[in-house]
Structure 1
């Protein structure tokens, strides 16, 4: 065991603050817990209240029900503290302060009956104004007045028993309910009418729900361990945001601990350690070690911890999700597990298998959990420190990874051993004017050392170039009508996402799929690679006929522009690489015959046009090149341009590199590659080696990496360039932060089941566009979790998308050869 493992904090200690035993079963009864009190049925028809802040205080026993209590809820408002209890005979409202006062006077506390003979109530919920209570009884939801015995509304429509109902804080008349019929409904309880009814969501009943008032989202928990999130925003039409398989995410979290020593130091249960060790041993699964299901028994928000001080997104949204064996802390921004707590690893707990639970986590970092046993009548209140739990487990994960401070923007000088240093000072393009005889060697135009404008008397700059971040002045967006595709001096950072259809163009007379599209750096040209082996070059205003680049003998699979937008590099399935002059549509460099054994993919200019990057098989190559477009009639077929290999890098265990990306607009040493082994690997070309590996990026191999590269027309914070997006067939988009090597956002909504639909990040860094198989393109806000716009009107699958770097313009390409242009 390494020295680092000895420094991992001991597992968090869970304490049991109070415990009791009821004479009647309480395993499947709604109980309640807040930062001040917890309440539960005791001995059938008694209501027991514990003071959490003062464990020595005697329990408050309230009597008034004649039949067993089936549901209890507490208000989350301090003045007054109210508790509501329900049984088949009554629904009673209690004021805890008045009940305490009555007990001190030696009197019997009296509650206020707000409903008689409601039926078997399984869930109670206070309205935020504490003047109404929702009671779920059978197939109906009763809206009760908290001031008098009156049923304000009765909502009927579910085909099975209603398991939970909650009010929407942001709109007084809305209520959401879930049912055994596996649907959720949105009600206008003022009008006693149905606003929305979902389709059947699962083969298993919906058990619990939570409403995120800040994001206006509904989170539902199912008996099969699935969390489903839906947007309740009015213009989103209650669409699905994401779905989380809790069991899958739990195992994924545990797999980050490859050694038993690290597992034992991380506060995880012994059973979970056995799970991971058995999986890592390569043997067949032992089903006795695996949870057969993960029924969701409770969902509630967690106190927002700043998990990463350098996060661009601040506090993550965290939810506690409870099952019968423990708690999961779920990060709702990236749909991943942040911490695990298992009851059966602590001998000091009296309950190992939970029947029902309630949780309060809004006091410092302490979490209070009220639990009832599954197969006994035990009730206990436990306490643990959530921040300590999370940090101890995260520290255990970090010991498995080397600590490397990565950044896209380079700030250190090149090392002597770097392949970039070999010829980085030599300009990559030795260009000669066409038709001019070269009789003199190239010399500086200014020979006088005293002339400051020449630059030759200046001291060499040691600090590498970094994007400008101090520009405050911005240009207001221009009107689309006046100049829909004009080139601006600066990209309008405050403009809305481009979602207005402007033009639609067919790239060929017959349907021809567009394999790739890319705008030039100045935003004046759009290159389109086609399945028919040709390349089309459009102007950004799409006026006139496009230029045609022909010469490849296979489907064009990759395009890249030089910084000055004069050169276009392309690759195809014929294993050939070509660099074209945009002026005359002629290739000035052709290479690949015998040089690459497998098709060349993902070509691009790199390191301020000093090099070329490309992939072939499981390797990516760093190439040095020189271009010469001088034409000599006597030697017109002799190629003066040249290209040679500088270095090649191998992805371990991958059969093929499926995505490659690097920044060319400023100096950056990092190259990102994803492979067929579902791994993302980061190479530092200054250190001349791989520096980081992220495994299981997606369930399938990612087919594209898209970095936030900005453009020459925008200014972003330097930290923003560390963001990049990956996508894979059958999965959503994932936004990653280079500095933490963690997924910080996940985006779902588009359909991507069989085609490798492309993605793009806007020059302002605010939006992500992606294609979809439902003949639409989707636009996501990088700070949100659901799509902003669905761009319909396409005639086939949208296979590629591209943002114009100089103006708010988005171009989409389809499998039938149509280009659709959108502006803001």
Structure 2
């Protein structure tokens, strides 16, 4: 055995403490494609073919233990789960032997030959073996069978059509065993009864090689020979649905591009060093077979990197491949860190044939055991996980970005309101309230009203209610081939506005009773409807290039801004700063309009518009890319505006300073078509931190949940079909759910703590392109657009237990 040697980075040793090769063995026989065993204290592997070598991971210089008893080459090794006594099981074609490590060491000290207990004989070539949580049962995968070696009874689990490559005992249901095979399917067994519970269909084109079970989210993660990860939900009632499929090669390329963009602000030498290392990793082979999977707890490390702002239940897995190691986040389906063997010239193994990784929760060190693909070397690596993550993550903590922050006296927003106060003096009581809000932090209390107002709502939104699942009422909106394109509730929850492709906007009562008010005047499809905070006015934008402001009383037009004001079409528009401004996007620019509404009547000049508006501020995006969506809080004074660009970036604008505050590159694989903030409502009380959460969605790329304080994607929601049409999203007022439209004529409901949907709402006849929650009661409502049939456009109201509804709109494009 060679002495442990320090492995330095290939570039000037700047990350020399990242990886240490603690031990190296040259075996007489190759050990590639062998299941290795790694635990917090020991690692075990075959050497010279039929001998089992056990290393101490805490002190590799300690004399290794060599166990002999097999006559055929050892093909699989596994540790038991008990801390004491430490059990290790080894398998070959001739025997399956159980060893007690403490007894074996005592025998060696006494000068005797250690012996194990033979628990199985002549089972064939074993590719995988696992011990049950209580170490009483050994699951041995040999050929197409799984042999359950129990001291009392023995079962042979048959059903796979090809070689079984991996198996795992379920940690929360100990009688459950899950296996994967080269037949490209997985099966769920009750090994106590010896029966098959579930058999999946063939879902991939390549053999399945590895398997791990995530107890935190109750998910199955399996890896393929072609470098793909498949994740399935094991939650009761989800029927083993597929959560997502991940291409490891694409994720690695995307991760490298993000790292390069983060490093562009570093000094020249450091930037050159790290970028060179990443480039070398990109020269690895085209495919990345997933040789091994293992749990990885990064909660403490990520919270330290994010200043304590990261999620407490960050669940990750180690992915071992022939080219390197990857840390994959199961919440946001992104890579947290990448380690390429070729980036370290002194490593003895550059291409791995098999690997095993282990790391203790909260521990900075991970142990990786590798065998060479083309040689006969076996190496044990010690990885400093915190150093690895820190060297590749550049979290933008310290910007103090928060939607709940005071507006500075130097802000353009502050001066504009000051000018308004001077030119149009308000009553003494109103001025005092405004000055108080400007000079003090807005909401820094234990209990926060999302509106920021001191008025007490008449009723509270039930925070613990379940989401709506059944249609309670439907309303016909139009009898022609007209699509409902946008929808929104008023802040008091009493009114519901819908925009249509037939140039009209309708306003309904929230319970869908009575005759709707009709707002007509646009010459193109209405793309945006937005309520003012006081609920007295409605803003609409259209593809005809105009922006119109309506008074709810009498459905009267009070302001029309034409094409002469905007150089490019208006993509998004809303009220901002508690109705003080109109915030909109026009091409690559963010614009603030100051408006004045004059409701005086003049019978002589009745057709002359007396209301007026003026552009007071404009700001271009980085790179002058077109804005596809924007979002800002209007329920309280906030200086942050979120935008999405055509180049797939997200940008945060600081209107305190009148500049861009942060840019997130490659937020999605396609341009974002909607940004949705968790704004709550005046009927709910949430913790102030959750108001910094926002969601984005892009066609064909699911929904992502972001934290404004860390600028990290915290979770990804997938499962709703959305491949060709922009389907909208919405937060529930309680902040516990995210709803989305879909192309399969359903609306989907996601719990923010799970990556797969909790409910699938039926009742539509066409693509559901938008959703909205009532701010005052948990209900669900949706307009159904007409497709190629003669069905009318409808508005559906879903009802569950406490008058909860979500509003969904469906449209034919």
Q: TM-score, normalised by structure 1?
A: 0.89
Per the alignment, residue 226 of structure 1 pairs with: 228
Q: How many residue pairs end up in the alignment?
A: 769
1:688 shift after superposition: 1.2
1:631 shift after superposition: 2.2
Per the alignment, residue 806 of structure 2 pairs with: none
Identify the match of residue 278 of structure 2 among 244, 247, 272. 272
Per the alignment, residue 442 of structure 2 pairs with: 466
Write the deviation string for residues 614-635 of structure 1: whole angstroms up to 9, x where unpaired. 1222222210001122222222
1:466 shift after superposition: 2.2
Contact kept? 1:469, 1:715, Cα under 8 Å: no
Write the deviation string for residues 126-154 of structure 1: whole angstroms up to 9, x where unpaired. 11011101111111111111x36x5x211
SS in 2 for 1:507: strand
Contact kept? 1:714, 1:764, Cα under 8 Å: yes
Identify the match of residue 506 of structure 1 among 458, 461, 476. 476
Identify the match of residue 701 of structure 1 among 671, 674, 678. 671
SS in 2 for 1:780: strand
Per the alignment, residue 393 of structure 1 pairs with: 392
Q: 2:725 matched to 1:731? A: no
1:312 shift after superposition: 5.6
Distance in 2 separating the partners of 1:303 and 1:28: 26
Distance in 2 separating the partners of 1:460 and 1:162: 69
1:191 shift after superposition: 3.0
Per the alignment, residue 80 of structure 1 pairs with: 85
SS in 1 for 2:604: helix
1:469–1:495 distance in 2 versus 1, CA, 3 Å: farther
Write the deviation string for residues 272-326 of structure 1: whole angstroms up to 9, x where unpaired. 33567xxxxxxxxxxxx35311111111111333312342622411211111121
Distance in 2 separating the partners of 1:239 and 1:619: 42
Contact kept? 1:266, 1:392, Cα under 8 Å: no
Identify the match of residue 405 of structure 2 among 410, 417, 421. 410
Per the alignment, residue 555 of structure 1 pairs with: 525
Q: 2:230 matched to 1:257? A: no
SS in 2 for 1:584: helix
SS in 2 for 1:721: helix
Distance in 2 separating the partners of 1:780 and 1:18: 47
**Farther off after superposition, 614-623 or 703-712:** 614-623
1:339 shift after superposition: 1.4
Identify the match of residue 206 of structure 1 among 205, 208, 211. 208
Identify the match of residue 636 of structure 1 among 606, 617, 626. 606
Per the alignment, residue 748 of structure 1 pairs with: 718
Per the alignment, residue 371 of structure 2 pairs with: 372
Contact kept? 1:428, 1:625, Cα under 8 Å: no
Write the deviation string for residues 139-193 of structure 1: whole angstroms up to 9, x where unpaired. 1111111x36x5x211111111110011112113211111111111112223333
Per the alignment, residue 61 of structure 1 pairs with: 66
Alignment of 1:326-725 (within 5 A): 326-362=324-360, 364-394=363-393, 397=394, 404-415=399-410, 418=412, 420-424=414-418, 426=420, 444=427, 460=436, 462-464=438-440, 466-467=442-443, 469-471=445-447, 489-725=459-695
Contact kept? 1:34, 1:76, Cα under 8 Å: no
Per the alignment, residue 790 of structure 2 pairs with: none
**Farther off after superposition, 461-470 or 672-681:** 461-470
Per the alignment, residue 170 of structure 1 pairs with: 172
**Farther off after superposition, 358-367 or 487-496:** 487-496
Distance in 2 separating the partners of 1:703 and 1:473: 29
Distance in 1 separating the partners of 2:106 and 2:273: 43
1:460–1:660 distance in 2 versus 1, CA, 3 Å: closer
1:200 shift after superposition: 1.8
SS in 2 for 1:249: helix
1:349 shift after superposition: 2.2
1:767 shift after superposition: 0.8
The runs of at least 4 aligned residues of structure 1 exceeding 4 Å deviation read 6-9, 258-271, 427-430, 453-462
Per the alignment, residue 188 of structure 2 pairs with: 186
Contact kept? 2:449, 2:685, Cα under 8 Å: no
1:99–1:360 distance in 2 versus 1, CA, 3 Å: same
1:366 shift after superposition: 1.0
Per the alignment, residue 292 of structure 2 pairs with: 298
SS in 1 for 2:105: helix
1:558–1:575 distance in 2 versus 1, CA, 3 Å: same
Per the alignment, residue 158 of structure 1 pairs with: 160
1:488–1:296 distance in 2 versus 1, CA, 3 Å: farther
1:812 shift after superposition: 2.5
Write the deviation string for residues 395-421 of structure 1: whole angstroms up to 9, x where unpaired. xx46xx7963211122242306x2552
Q: 2:743 matched to 1:784? A: no
1:7 shift after superposition: 14
Distance in 1 separating the partners of 2:203 and 2:433: 71
Q: 2:791 matched to 1:821? A: no
Contact kept? 2:739, 2:771, Cα under 8 Å: yes
1:257 shift after superposition: 2.0
Contact kept? 2:706, 2:715, Cα under 8 Å: yes
Gapped regions of structure 1 (runs ≥ 5): 1-5, 277-288, 431-441, 447-452, 475-486
1:809 shift after superposition: 1.6
SS in 1 for 2:498: strand
Per the alignment, residue 482 of structure 1 pairs with: none
